[in-house]
Copies of this chain bind each other. A is one copy, B any other.
Amino acid sequence: MDLAARVMSVVGRTSLSESSTSPVNNCQKIGKVMDVSDGAFIGGFIPSLIEKQRYPYSRPEFLYFSDEEISLSSDHSIRPVLCPRLPHKMPLYAGYAEVINAGKTIQNEDQASAKMLVLSQHQGTEMNGFHDEKKFETRNGSVNEVEDDPMLTPGGDESEKSNIFAPRADAALFSIFDGHAGSAVAVVASKCLHEHVKSRLCEILDTLLHLDRHENLNFGKHRSESSYSMSKVRITLDDECRIRSEQLVKGALETSFLDMDEQISQDKQVWRLPGGCAVISVLVFLGKLYIAFSANAGDCRAILVSSDGTKALSRDLTPSSERKRLQELAYRNPELIGNSFSRLEYSKKLTRSDLKSRVLYRDWFMDGWAVKTVNETDLRPSLISESSRKRRLLNTIGVSRGFGDHHLLTVDERLSIKPFLSAVPEISVTNLRDMNTLSDKDVVIVASDGLWDVLSNEDAGLIVRSTLGSTDSSDSSRYTQAAQDLIAAARGQQASGNLKRWVMNSGGHASYDDITVFVIPLKYCAAPPTNFEEEDDDEMLSLE
């Protein structure tokens, strides 16, 4: 993903209160961050001393590549397609492949992670305390890895099983992070996001599993309405309150995305973490797929491929589609754009010659358009401007969601952009039980914009179905072969006579960008490796 040339990533007076949100834990921390940013570094710039990275650049660990191999694989002129060395060890036998860009950036700015999460109920009741201590080691300056998780295979984490009476479950999490202005934030997110998700799921696991079981019991009775009144069981919720297990998973994803962004904000005080990343995650849990995306149109996308065709599981979140949110923020906090930008959207690009003429516009509360007479204020650059073909926020950045960018300022006015960026994910849920039949050719494709820039959803679906149709169903590497074929199609071949040109088989321009693809088989998602005990329900219900 490109950033406009005028972008600077520096430590500035970022108003973190606009974007950090976890209300319970973070209020105090935000204050601290502000102090450090403003006080410790003269002029607000990161001194070049802070060049150390907590997680140096690498490729996903599930590839099992040596440093030398990683170095060799990043040849921009050859662009080899990388696949996991041990496909049968991938969570849920998911396929994976990646390729580096054709020279746009030295490093591959895409990152990916694939994890089995072995979940067990947190035992503490004083959540405010333990939750933070567990996660934010950086505050003590400690460099301990948070990676206490089974890497690749389910059930590998024995330490989590010490209390055999605690409720347990397994989940799988696949994420793609599309970095901009460097790969640092994408790398950190790929190492840590699953820990935040796991932690949030473990907080609520007992209630979640209980609800899920009762929803399944009632499945036959209320197929269309799977909500379940918690008042019917011994949980201390009011009668009117109907909460479903799905909503607890959503809440865990929502809060963990903000946890991740908050961690990046804190890590930035100690480590070098320029830039940001878009993110899309697929959580496979209790027979459902949760697609959480805090990503830009085309940057990352998930589609479902079945015999019925393809179906988008994520939607566009762009400065354009988020216009009303961004405009309302500027309306309520006009200091965020100062006198440098106009909040309004106009039907045309205004120049001085438009002064006193009439123009169509829309403001934060409008789906429609109204007319106004152009005045001097309207000649300011638009909050959401059109530069070339992509709409940019504050004339700078083409994304409106994701992680990082905490210190991104506009060049001329030194306005902080982070308050407009949101780490909040949108979440779509697919219940695999609602799908009539699942064949081993039904998959979810998750990929970065390197793929979607040159392949339509339909093309991608056809390629995968074709590969899976010609491979043996017992071959654990077939989904990785499908991912490979997707990459090969999107990257294309070097043109004969001009090795710097990449063309697709169709003859059209191939993708010059980093490309990353997961192909996740629904068959193994539908029957996830759960291993929680059949404990006595009523003993496990109370939230207290």
Contact = CB atoms under 8 A, between A and B. Distances in A.
A424 B365 contact: yes
Nearest to A238: B348
Contacts of A358: 125, 127, 543-544
A371 B203 contact: yes
Given A356-B126, A360-B243, A370-B204, A237 B348 contact: yes
A21 interface: yes
A373 to B, nearest CB: 5
Interface in A108-131: 125-128
Interface in A1-55: 18, 21-24
Q: How big is chain A's contact interface, by range?
A: 35 or more
B250 A373 contact: no
A127 B368 contact: no
A158 interface: no
A368 B333 contact: no
Contacts of A237: 347-348, 360
A24 B372 contact: yes
Contacts of A349: 238
Given A252-B368, A370-B200, A370-B254, A240 B360 contact: no
B356 A125 contact: yes
Copies of this chain, tallied across the complex = 2
Contacts of A427: 367-368
A11 to B, nearest CB: 23
A368 B248 contact: yes
Interface centre among A255, A364, A369 (most CB of B within 10 A): A369
A23 B255 contact: no
Nearest to A204: B371
A460 to B, nearest CB: 25
B127 A247 contact: no
Given A254-B365, A331-B21, A427-B367, A357 B543 contact: yes
A360 B543 contact: yes
Contacts of A251: 360, 362, 366-370
Nearest to A343: B23
Nearest to A373: B127
